[in-house]
Amino acid sequence: MDYFFVLLFSGLAVLFILGGIILSYLIAPHRPNRIKNTPYECGEIPLGSAWIQFNVGYYLFALLFLIFDVEAAFLYPWAVILRVVGFPGLLEVGIFLLVLILGLIYARKKGALEWV
Amino acid sequence: MTEPAGIVLKNAWLIPAIPLASFVLVGLVVRPLSRRLAGIVATAAIFVSAAMAWILAWEYFSATPHGEPTAVIPWTFEWLRYQTGLTVKLGVLVDPLSILLMVVVTTVSALVHLYSIGYMHDDEGSGRFFTWMNLFTFSMLGLVVAPNIVQMYVFWELVGVSSFLLIGYYYQKPSAVAASNKAFIVTRFADLGFMIGILILGFYGFRLFSELGDAGLQPFDFAFLTSPAVLERLATMHLGTCDISILTLSMVLVFMGAAGKSAMFPLHIWLPDAMEGPTPVSALIHAATMVVAGVYLVARLFAAFAASGTALMVVAYVGAFTCLFAAIIGLTQDDIKRVLAFSTLSQLGYMMFALGVATVGHPLGYTASMFHLFTHAFFKSLLFLAAGAVIHAVHTNNIWEMGGLVRKLPITHATFLVATLAIAGIWPLAGFFSKDEILGAALDGGHPVIFAVGLLVAGLTALYMFRIYFLTFWGKFRGMVTDPVHEVPALMRVPLVILAVASIVAGFVPMGRFVRIGEEHHAGINLAVAIPASILALIGIGLAWILYSADGRRAAQCTVRMGAFYTVIKQKFYIDEAYLFVTRRILFRFVARPIAWFDRHVVDGGVNLSGWIARTTGSVLRHLQTGQVQVYGVWFVGGALLVLLILWAGWR
Amino acid sequence: MIFLPELIVVVCAVAILLTDLWLDERRRVILAPMAAIGLVVAMASLIISVPQNGLTLGGRFSVDPVGWWFKVFFLLSGLITILISLDLLDGRVGVRMRGIGFRGEYYTVLLATILGMMVLVSARDLITLYVSLELATMPLFVLTAWRRDDAQSGEAGMKYVIFGAMASACMLYGLGLLYGLTGSTALTAIDRQLANMPAFWLATAMLVAGIGFKLTIVPFHFWAADVYQGAPAPVTAYLSVASKGAGLAFAFQILYRWMDGWIADAAVGVAVFAALTMTLGNTVAIVQHNIKRFMAFSAISQAGYLVMGFVGGLPEGIPAMLFYLLVYAVTNLAVFACIVWFSNQTGKEQIEDYRGLARTNPLIALTMMLGLFSLAGIPPLSGFVGKFFLFSVASKAGFHWLVAVAAVNSTISLYYYLRIVRQMYIEPADKDSTRLPITPTLAATLMVLSATQLLMGIIPSLYETISSQTLAWLAR
């Protein structure tokens, strides 16, 4: 019996999602036209196809940004409890930063930071 | 009782080690330098080994002139230690049985090597040939001296590998390649039974070992497995609720391996095809040595087979059936080497059923089997070598394309005749004595059916052997070859003559003194057996002479040759027609053809079928591998659910 | 400093990555020796430390003899992989277009997976376990897709990522459930009390599925064939050996170290999976034509033999598996070294392309034949001895049918290994085929590997050492 609620929960979860989709399909009116079918792009009229190649530099920048974003997010809580964790904490964060700096050096040397 | 001792006995490990060293030396160093030198080095090494084997035999038997023979293990080395008390050792076991085999293997091998120097003279790859031949000799000796069943299995496989390499020696010929694969796969299939048998024996042997073991022995040692205490326990243990005792089960499985190696029905199919290898290979491996490994294995474990009567009966009847079956097929073959191959099968059948009819109380068959192994090795390898000389001269295997070779190949003819008489069992040649002992053992052991089969086959043996003899050497040359036929070079003649002498005198060796169980016995000639057997053999020879001595154009030729006996000849002609009618219309069509058909389609087909099943399953299963990750994912989830199900079922 | 070997590997990886930045293309040949030396030093530090017991980093990292042998295996297979990758990376190949670039990154990534595997066997904590498993797996995705401009390599990498992510997620859920049930991330918290809970079964099933993915157990094996075929040959070699070792290490950590009673109860299930895996691997291997795909199925069947060691949860299973793993590393990598060399020189990967190799390059053919026969378990070679111990474990656990299935399978396997031997030794060579060159490093590697696998079969002391050390530790 312990697992009855797990079963109930799973069933409800499936029902909820399927129910929503089916219900909207049944109730909503279907009158498509060209304007309705265009992709939404912040209110602008879209130019050309959405299936175009982006400059790979975007991805590199995005990745690097993500890494340093996470780094910052990690440093905030550490800074808050710096006095509690003391010197060993400082050392560990030092190692953490060192690894990231090595990565940055690698990225810089490989030319990942230059926009081409 | 004195422990046999002597310099060679102390260093008996050298007997297999010398061919091994020579294999490495020839294979890596000599072969690239000169293929002639490779042959000489390889041959010399085997001769040294053979000399040591003979000295060993002399040292051993002079130390125990009439006493109970003892087993000596002069050299041993720990190979695998599974846990304390369960180790597998490599070693050299010296007892009458292994000495007999060592002498046979090294002697025949040395002579075949010598012959091969001449035979392979013009072959570009003869260096490779001698390398593999040395490897084979080493593996065979390793098998023979094995003190435990694991070592025997290891060398058993090595022997199989070297046989595979040698059958496929003419790799340009697709038939040779197919034959080598077939030989390997069929024997491997049989070895599966052997291996399972070993595992069962090892498992129960180890269980018993703690209570029955002895400090000097290991659970896999033959000495432990054949000790009465162990056998008694194994015979009373049963597999689950089945009626079969562990002993019988494991012995039948072990016999399956033996039957594969010794080409017993229905695992015999590889041996005739194996004749695709060079003729010296057929002489050494597929006549004198490797194929008797199965017989040797049964003899080694004889006490265990004897303790389980059922297993021994299987041995006896499979042996007798093969004996008859192969002899009948032998009558219909046209390829000289194939006739000899079927003859080998039939003679191995003799050895097997001789072991099968022996018991601990009545061990004559045991001695007789080993005796026949000993004599057969000489005359059968001689037959092959002489056939090789004929093939060498006329460049064909078909007996209908030979004929009239008496004058052209005098020495080959003389030696072939000696061997043919020996295998037909004519006094005083070797085959007479050993066959006489086997038949006597079957009769005294209370197996009249087997005795009758043995007697019948004695006649058939004479018939098919003299059939090829007459067709090969008598009459006129029927071949296409126009260049003159030459006698073989002197180098090849020497082994032929030595083996011919051995085929004459080997019958006088008092085998009952050397290889025996229990009391020494002097088997005199058993007239009640010898007379009917000899008469049947003579009838077989006579029949062959009538039918085949004149190329098949009998009527006309016989008239010319025996003008005065015209009427008789006419009658003979009539008999011949009758025989032809009987053979062609009845015997051949209704007996031999179906047997050959059965052999080719059912037995052979069975082996092919299992290969086909594996391949087809593979092609069906590969379609599961669609290449779509989505499908893989479904299988992954399915697998995880299966695990869950198993766990759930496990705790219910 | 019981994590000294791991530390050396990290330092070496970083040093290679940074050195690579300041070298011009011609001087980058020193990177491979650097990586090799790094692994040798790590191995030396491991050997000096002899199997010992120890705990550090707040109980999250520990060493013991079993882990020690696993680490020896990981370092050894990493080292051999570097030696057989050399030619391809340094461009000493017969086929120009076959060379692959980015040497510095290649070695760094390779060392990273080795590090992950080494930490994996030492982990005593769910989080460390999971992170190290990911560290061991993710670089393999990258390595698989290393040949960027090759469609097959890319496809293999893509499939591996998707399937690997799925397995990883599954495993993470399993570990999460375990955490939920015990309330602690320590592996020691898992005990037999949990065995009656359905949630625990679910967690175990998810973990087993993940382990099955790493070990290529049927039906979690599907990725292997496509990935092995598409990946560059040295990477395939590494995948088939080390990655399998990591799966076994993970299985050992979860199933054996902390659920030892449980695995004994589930013996039937383990036996069924072992039988399925070896049978499927063997039968499908028969009909393959591409040698890398062929070796993939061969590796699947070998995994089936390997897990026989888990049957019944006997202590003897551990040394048997460790020994087989070492034998398998040496044997399989010897075969792969030949395959890598052949595809470097000719660019061909079909089994038929090997015909007549014994006549153009007899030594390579001999090495390959020895390796294949050892994989098939022909007696005096080490593969036979390894199988012998595994079979006897199953037999001791009372699973005679499994031993019979395995014996039948090893007979079938002989049939298809013989196919390659036949191509090399029996089929005639093409008319235009000539002797192919081989670099001294690869030749030396091949010889050492062949000699080692022969010696491991003949000299018993290695198994005895493994057995006595691990059994003593397990019995404590």
Residue pair B546/B574 in contact (Cβ under 8 Å)? The answer is no
In this prediction, residue C337 carries a pLDDT of: 93
Look at residue A2 and give its three-state secondary structure.
Answer: coil
pLDDT band at B97 (very low <50, low <70, confident <90, very high): confident
pLDDT of C385 over the 90 cut? no
Please check whether residue C352 is in contact with residue C423, taking contact to mean a CB–CB distance below 8 angstroms.
Answer: yes
In this structure, what token pair is assigned to residue A90? 């400082």
pLDDT in tens, C100-131: 778 889 999 999 999 999 999 998 888 889 99
Please name the residues between 120 and 159 in chain B that touch chain C, using a CB distance below 8 Å: 153-154, 157-158
Q: How confident is the model at residue C255 (pLDDT cuts 50, 70, 90)?
A: confident
**Which residues in C lie closer than 8 A to residue B646 (C-beta atoms)?**
266, 268-269, 272
Chain C residue with the nearest C-alpha to that of A111: C21
pLDDT at C131: 92
Residue C261 touches chain B, beta carbons under 8 Å: no
pLDDT at B570 > cutoff 50:
no
The predicted pLDDT at position B286 comes to: 83
Helix (H) or strand (E) holding B124: none
Better-predicted residue by pLDDT, B618 or B595: B618
Q: Using alpha carbons only, what angle is made at residue C328 by residues B86 and C241, rounded to the nearest 5 degrees? A: 145
8 A C-beta contact, residue B328 and residue B591: yes
CB neighbourhood size of B175 (10 A)? 10
Binary contact (C198, A109; C-beta < 8 A): no
Cα dist. A30→A21, A36, A72, B137, C275 in Å? 14, 11, 48, 88, 56
The single-letter code of the amino acid at B325 is F
User: C324 falls in which pLDDT band (50, 70, 90)?
Assistant: very high
Q: Chain A residues with CB inside 8 Å of C14's CB?
A: 102
Residues 46-105 of A with CB under 8 A from C: 102, 105
**What number of C-beta contacts closer than 8 Å exist between B and C?**
149
B618·C285 Cβ contact <8 A: yes
Res B241 pLDDT > 70: no
C287, C385, C425 member nearest B622 (Cβ): C287
pLDDT at C13: 93
Does the beta carbon of B85 lie under 8 angstroms from any beta carbon of chain C? no
Domains of chain A and CATH, by start: 4-109 (1.20.58.1610)
pLDDT at position C429: 77
Backbone angles phi, psi at B148, to 5 degrees: -140, 165
Sign of the CA dihedral running C136, C141, C144, C147: negative
For residue B82, give the 3-state DSSP assignment.
strand
Asked if residue B419 has pLDDT above 60, the reply is yes
Look at C14 and A102 and tell me if their CB atoms are within 8 Å: yes
Let me know if residue C89 belongs to a domain: no
pLDDT at B175 over 50: yes
- Whether the CB of C17 is below 8 Å from some CB of chain A: the reply is yes
Backbone angles phi, psi at B73, to 5 degrees: -120, 90
Q: Could you tell me which chains touch chain C, where touching means 3 or more CB pairs under 8 A?
A: A, B
| Three-state helix/strand/coil letters over C193-216 | HHHHCHHHHHHHHHHHHHHHHHHC
Average pLDDT rounded to a whole number, residues C323-330: 92
Distance from CA of A91 to the nearest CA of C (A): 15
C62 has pLDDT over 60: yes
Q: Is residue C76 part of a domain?
A: no
Check: CB of residue C238 under 8 Å from CB of residue C329.
no
What is the mean predicted confidence (pLDDT) over C236-264? Answer: 83
Closest by Cα among B236, B239, B230, B232 to B207: B230
- Per-position DSSP letters for B129-179, written without gaps between them: HHHHHHHHHHHHHHHHT-SBHHHHHHHHHHHHHHHHHHHTTSTTSHHHHHH
- Interface touch C198/A105, C-beta < 8 Å: no
Instruction: Tell me the pLDDT tens digit for each residue of B1-44.
Output: 456 667 777 888 888 889 988 988 888 777 777 878 888 889 99
Measured between beta carbons, the chain C residues lying within 8 angstroms of A102 are 14, 17-18
Q: Which residues from C are below 8 Å from B643, CB to CB?
A: 204-205, 208-209, 212, 269
Residue pair B312/B356 in contact (Cβ under 8 Å)? The answer is yes
Q: Do B246 and B234 meet the contact criterion of CB atoms below 8 Å apart?
A: yes
Which tokens go with B183?
A: 């030989």
Confidence of residue B161 (pLDDT cuts 50, 70, 90): confident
User: What pLDDT, on the 0 to 100 scale, is given for residue C336?
Assistant: 93
Band (B565; pLDDT cuts 50, 70, 90): very low
Residues of C in contact with A106 (CB under 8 A): 17-18, 21
pLDDT of residue B213: 62
Q: Which two tokens stand for residue C455?
A: 């010696």
- Quote the tokens at residue B310: 């059922």
Looking at this protein, which amino acid is placed at residue A56?
A: V
Which residues of chain C have a CB within 8 Å of the CB of A10? Answer: none
Structure tokens at B101: 């085999």
Question: Strands C61-63 and C54-56: what pairing?
Answer: antiparallel
Mean pLDDT over the full length of chain A: 84
pLDDT band at B566, cuts 50/70/90?
very low
User: Rounded mean pLDDT of B581-610?
Assistant: 56
- Looking at residue C259, its pLDDT comes to 66
Reported as a single tens digit per residue, the pLDDT across A59-99 is: 888 888 888 888 888 889 898 988 888 888 899 899 989 98
Percent of chain B surpassing pLDDT 90 = 6
> How large is the average pLDDT for residues B496-502?
89
What average pLDDT does this structure show over B451-478? 84
CA-nearest of B60, B56, B148 to B105 is B56
C417 Cβ contact list (under 8 Å, min separation 6): C298, C372, C373, C375, C376
pLDDT of residue C12 exceeding 90, the answer is yes
Q: Examine residue C400 and state whether it is found in any structural domain, yes or no.
A: yes
More confident residue, C52 or C248: C248
Distance CA B639, CA B633 (A): 10
- Of all residues in chain C, the one with the smallest CA distance to B614 is C283
Best mutation target, C11, C12, C14, to test chain A (most A CBs within 10 A): C14
pLDDT of residue B50: 92
User: What's residue B575's pLDDT?
Assistant: 40
Identify the chains in contact with A, defined as 3+ C-beta pairs within 8 A.
C
DSSP B420-485: HHHHHT-TTSHHHHHHHHHHHHHHHTT-HHHHHHHHHHHHHHHHHHHHHHHHHHSS----S--SPP
- Is residue C413 one of the residues assigned to a domain? yes
Measure Cα distances from B159 to A71, B136, C358, C472 in Å. 67, 6, 21, 39
**Angstrom distance (rounded) from CA B310 to CA C41:** 63
Give the model's confidence band at B218: pLDDT under 50 very low, under 70 low, under 90 confident, else very high: confident
Q: Do B639 and C212 touch (CB under 8 A)?
A: yes
* Closest Cβ opposite residue C205 in set B615, B625, B644: B644
Q: What mean pLDDT is predicted for residues C157-172?
A: 91
Supply the DSSP symbol for B81: E
Output the pLDDT for position B573: 36
Of C204, C212, C287, the CB nearest to B615: C287
Q: What is the pLDDT of residues B347-361, one digit of tens each?
A: 999 999 888 888 877
**B128 pLDDT higher than 60:** yes
| Contact state of C18 with A110 under an 8 Å Cβ cutoff | no
Q: Which residue of B has its CA nearest to C396?
A: B203
Candidates B622, B635, B648; nearest CB to C219: B635
Which residues in chain C (180-239) have CB-CB distances under 8 A to chain A? Answer: 198-199
Residue B555, pLDDT score = 35
Contact B188 C414 (CB under 8 A): yes
H or E stretch including B75?
A: strand B72-83
Nearest to B356 by CA among B446, B287, B423: B446
Point out the residue among C14, C22, C198 whose CB comes nearest to the CB of A3.
Answer: C198
C185-204 pLDDT tens trace: 887 777 666 667 778 888 88
Average pLDDT over residues C292-308: 91
Q: Is residue C205 part of a domain?
A: no
* Band of residue B647 on the pLDDT scale cut at 50, 70, 90: confident
Token pair for residue A53? 């190649």
B572 confidence band (pLDDT: 50, 70, 90): very low
Of C21, C198, C199, the CB nearest to A106: C21
Interface check for C265 against chain B (CB to CB < 8 A): the answer is: yes
| 8 Å CB contact between B46 and B284 | no
Q: Which domain holds residue C291?
A: 263-476
pLDDT at B556: 40
Angle CA(B417)–CA(B420)–CA(B425) in degrees, nearest 5? 125
Q: Is the pLDDT of residue B610 over 50?
A: yes
Instruction: Supply the pLDDT for residue C275.
Output: 92
| Domain membership flag for residue C396 | yes
User: What ipTM was predicted for this assembly?
Assistant: 0.80
Q: Which residues of A touch C21 (CB under 8 A)?
A: 105-106, 109-110
- Percentage of chain C modeled with pLDDT above 70: 96
Q: Looking at the complex, report in whole angstroms how far the Cα of residue B206 sits from the nearest Cα belonging to chain C.
A: 11
Residue C35 binned pLDDT confidence (cut-offs 50, 70, 90): very high
Show residues of chain C in contact with B638, CB under 8 Å. 219
User: In the structure, what pLDDT confidence band is assigned to residue C183 with cuts at 50, 70 and 90?
Assistant: confident
Q: Is C460 in Cβ contact with B631 (below 8 Å)?
A: no
Cβ C18–A3 below 8 Å, yes or no?
A: no
Chain C residue with minimum CA distance to A104: C18
Q: How many domains is chain C partitioned into structurally?
A: 1
> In 3D, which of B249, B282, B81 has the Cα closest to residue B169?
B282
- C21 to chain A: closest CA residue: A109
